[in-house]
Amino acid sequence: MSEEPMITLTEPDWIVRRTAFRALMETGDPWDADRVAIPGLDRQAVRTAVQRLVEAGRARTDDRGRVTAACGISLTETPHRIESRHGSRWTNCAYDALGILGALEADGEVVSGSPSTGRDIGVRFERGRPAGSDAVLFLADQSCCSRPNEDWCPNVNLFEDGSLALGWAEEHGVGGRVVSLEEGTDLGAIEWRPLVEGHPWAETRSSTSPEREGRA
């Protein structure tokens, strides 16, 4: 685990982060900051924001500098996938998957690999709520993790039940707690709503809540 201090994001960082997330979610293609005009930010400010997001462990880029992961969405294959009317997308961890579909209030499915058994766990979503699954989410402690994508996300997974989750955490020396799919979705949706509200493809009707330094 990294012991470096967490980087506090600036307002331009939040704007670029949200813009990149929406582009990745909408298109499924890498986001090129040099080809997109963001009101109020010049090209250099956008490039600087992208670099800070990468350094903070909140975004990844390819060899051409295009953003390939932001706010949980990843174009690189991971053990976690969401299916919705926007298509198929990977996410950095199971919490991201729950939070994104929850914030969108979307119909769809989360498919996430259980580290204990290696099996895929499928969770159907109806209007942003998990349905028909007894799986649980292991929510790792974040206090020791300065780079969410690298330090925290690998330890946040779905498990078939709480005993498997706690056994895995003990075996790997990971602190955290087991939460229900409903609680995990509620917590995640709070973090992702500021990223989806106001966008035409967002189905959410919830009131806007301010962005904050969280796991998203």
pLDDT tens digits for range 99-127: 999 999 999 999 999 999 999 999 999 99
List, in sequence order, the alpha helices (H) in 28-130: 43-55, 94-104
pLDDT number for residue 205? 45
What pLDDT does residue 142 have? 78
| Lookup: tokens for 68 | 């390939």
Q: What is the mean pLDDT of residues 10-39?
A: 93
What's the pLDDT score for residue 9?
Answer: 87
In the chain, the DSSP E strands lie at 59-61, 67-70, 73-74, 80-84, 87-91, 108-113, 120-126, 129-131, 136-140, 157-159, 176-180
pLDDT over 90 for what percent of the chain? 74
Residues whose CB is less than 8 angstroms from the CB of residue 44 and which lie 6 or more positions away in sequence, other chains included: none
Containing H/E element for 215?
none
Tell me which residue has tokens 């996410």.
91
Q: For residues 158 and 82, is the Cβ–Cβ distance under 8 A?
A: no
Q: Quick: pLDDT tens for 128-186.
A: 999 989 999 999 997 666 677 777 999 999 999 999 999 999 999 999 999 999 999 99
- Residue 94 pLDDT level (bands cut at 50, 70, 90): very high
In 3D space, the residue among 108, 107, 110 whose CA is nearest the CA of residue 121 turns out to be 110
In the chain, pLDDT over 70 holds for what percent of residues?
87
Q: Give the pairing type, strands 129-131 and 136-140.
A: unpaired
- Could you read off the pLDDT of 50-89 as tens digits, one per residue? 999 999 889 999 999 999 999 999 999 999 999 998 889 9
Q: What is the dihedral of CA 150, 179, 25, 215, to 10 degrees?
A: -40
Please state, in angstroms and rounded to a whole number, the distance separating the CA atoms of residues 70 and 216.
9
* C-beta separation of 110 from 72 below 8 A: no
The CA distance from 147 to 144, in Å, is 9
Other CB atoms within 10 Å distance of the CB of residue 46: 20
Q: Tell me what pLDDT residue 148 has.
A: 75
Instruction: Scan for tokens 């470096």, then name that residue.
Output: 4
